[in-house]
Structure formats: C-alpha cells, structure tokens
Amino acid sequence: MIKIDVNKKSINSDSIGYEYLTSIYHEIINIDNKDKNIELNFKKTTWIDANLAAVLGAILRIIKLNGYNVFFSNLNGAISSILNRNGFLSFGDIYKPSSSTDTVINYWQFAPSQNDTFSFYVNEEILSKTCFPKCSNLLKDEIVRNMFELFNNAAIHGQSDSIFTCGQHYPNKKPATLDFTIVDIGKTFLENVNNYKILRNESIVNSHEAIDWATKEKNSTKIGKPGGLGLSLLLDFLNLNKGKIQIVSDNGYWEYRNGKVNIYNRELNHVFPGAIINIEFNVEENDDFYLLKKESSISVDNIF
C-alpha cells in the first residue's frame, strides 16, 4: 500500500482548501506503481470543513474510476465524528433526511436522472433548517429552482455520471453560516464556454473568465436558450444576505461576495476536473425577512 500524508492542519472552504484537495487528487493519479491501494494519512490534520465531504467524494469517485482504492487513516475524533454524522464514512443507498434542528446537511451522491430527489433534498436538508434566513414560501421555491439549475447544469453540461453534495451549519463562525457544496466531475466551465465560443469564432477565455461569463444572466452555452447558470435570483439573495458563492473549475477560482462589484478570481496551481460550487448563506440571527417583489407593494431593502 502506498502512503500519502495529508500535511495541511486545517482544510477549509476557501481557494487554498480547494486547491489542496485537488493537489492530493493529482498526487494519487500521477503515481506510477502497480500497487493501486492508497492510504491517506490524516495524522497532521485537525480540521476539515464538513461540507468539503462533497469534494472528497468526487475526488474518490474519479480515483476509483482510474482503478485506485483509497483508505483513510488517523482521522481524529472531531473529523471522524462529523464525517460519520453527515454520512460520508457510512454512505448508503437509502436517503434519510437529517433533523431540521441539526447542524448537518447530509452527504449524498446523485445520479444525473435524480432531479426530483435533488429538489426534495434541497427542501429537506437546507430550506427546512431552523437557521435558514427567514423568507416567504414563494422565494424558497425560487431558491430551489436556482439550485436545481446548478444540478441540471452539472448533469447536462458537465456530463457527470455523479453529482456530490454536502453541507454544514457553522453556528460558531462570525457571522454564523450555512454552507452547501455541490460538485460534479465532467466537463469544466472552460471546456463548455470555449466549445460554444469557437463555434462563433470568438476569443477563448481562461478558466476564471469562463466561470464569470457563465454566471452572467443572459449568457448560456445552451443553443438557442439564454440564462447562464440561472443564478440571478440566488446572487441577488446572497447580496442582500451578505453571503457568498465560490466556484472552482479547471484551474479557475471565482468568488462572489457582498455585492456584484465584489467579485474575486484567480488561477489555481492545480486543475479540478469538473466543478465545485459552494454557497454560503449568512445565518446570523436577525429580524430580516426576505420575499419577492411581486408579493408586496411596499418598498423595502430585502424584497426581490
């Protein structure tokens, strides 16, 4: 068995954490050895954000498809506990919603055809959380629709055979957050956008520019269908909510936070073969209530 040490003490939901997990994937697939049994030793790691189980699950799926078997060792009590609670270490075929009062959003692996199950999952695992920002039922329906667009994009555009999700409520963060991560392993944003642009004799963009292009409301690689990722309402919501969204694809990193003018992007040192999308809701307790503009004639800040 080949042993690989995970040398990072804390793996978080940021560009550094995503890049580090991707570097482990590259280290494994570049091993030139007949023994394809890999031990990942977490002795030096004291913390992993629970929602990153979706990224780990996607990476393990690719590695397995390449003929490798991966085993974890020396997971400390805190990491082992949360990865058991969210179902990552005990993943099965029967989906059971977690408690609405729990901090856990279950780890799950969806087939592209499981549209209805994914919509049910979003309602049960995210919107039903007592910590989720207060909003109208119509707005919740629109949030589900936006998240379904992300799922649909991964299934159709990414051509992924599996879509991985997980999340976590972090009540001790300042501000407290609810993170939800969705990952696919297939075509990258760069591949899809370039294929679309080449047909129109347009310039080829780099990875983070491709992500930025796809998030624009009227941009889409669907022939004859506008709409991009369908994130317009979700981005507006995160703007008012002071939340954020992070997208990793190929070697591009794109982050939207606290308003449309606050977009941060960079190139990573390692290529992720698909897409990672992490949505972070600000769930710090306050009296804000969100609803759609069409639900009220009163002009207030938190109406869409």
Contact 5, 44 (CB under 8 A): yes
d(CA 293, CA 15): 35
Q: What is the DSSP string of 159-216?
A: --S-EEEEEEEETTSSS-EEEEEEEE-SS-HHHHHHHHHHTTTPPP--HHHHHHHHHS
d(CA 231, CA 2): 42
Count the domains in the chain.
1
d(CA 75, CA 98): 23
* 48 found inside a domain: yes
* 206 found inside a domain: yes
With cut-offs at 50, 70 and 90, classify the pLDDT of residue 28.
Answer: very high
What dihedral do alpha carbons 285, 96, 145, 14 form, nearest 10°? 60
Nearest to 266 by CA among 184, 226, 224, 209: 209
Positive or negative CA dihedral for 115, 292, 231, 126?
negative
Q: What is the CATH number of the domain that holds 175?
A: 3.30.750.24
Looking at residue 226, its pLDDT comes to 34
CA-based angle 126:131:136, to the nearest 5?
70
Its domain, for residue 162, covers 2-295
* 240 found inside a domain: yes
* 220 found inside a domain: yes
Q: What is the mean pLDDT of residues 63-81?
A: 93
User: Which residue carries 């080449």 as its tokens?
Assistant: 198
Q: What is the pLDDT of residues 228-277, one digit of tens each?
A: 455 778 888 998 899 999 999 999 999 998 765 578 889 999 999 999 99
d(CA 103, CA 86): 9
d(CA 172, CA 160): 35
Q: What is the pLDDT of residues 169-228, one digit of tens each?
A: 999 999 999 999 999 998 898 988 888 887 778 877 799 998 988 888 655 554 434 334
Q: What is the pLDDT of residues 141-165, one digit of tens each?
A: 999 988 988 888 887 766 778 999 9
Q: What is the mean pLDDT of residues 81-110?
A: 83
* 157 found inside a domain: yes
Backbone angles phi, psi at 162, to 5 degrees: -150, 150
* 265 found inside a domain: yes
- Say whether the peptide bond before residue 133 is cis (omega within 30 degrees of 0): no
* 300 found inside a domain: no
* 304 found inside a domain: no
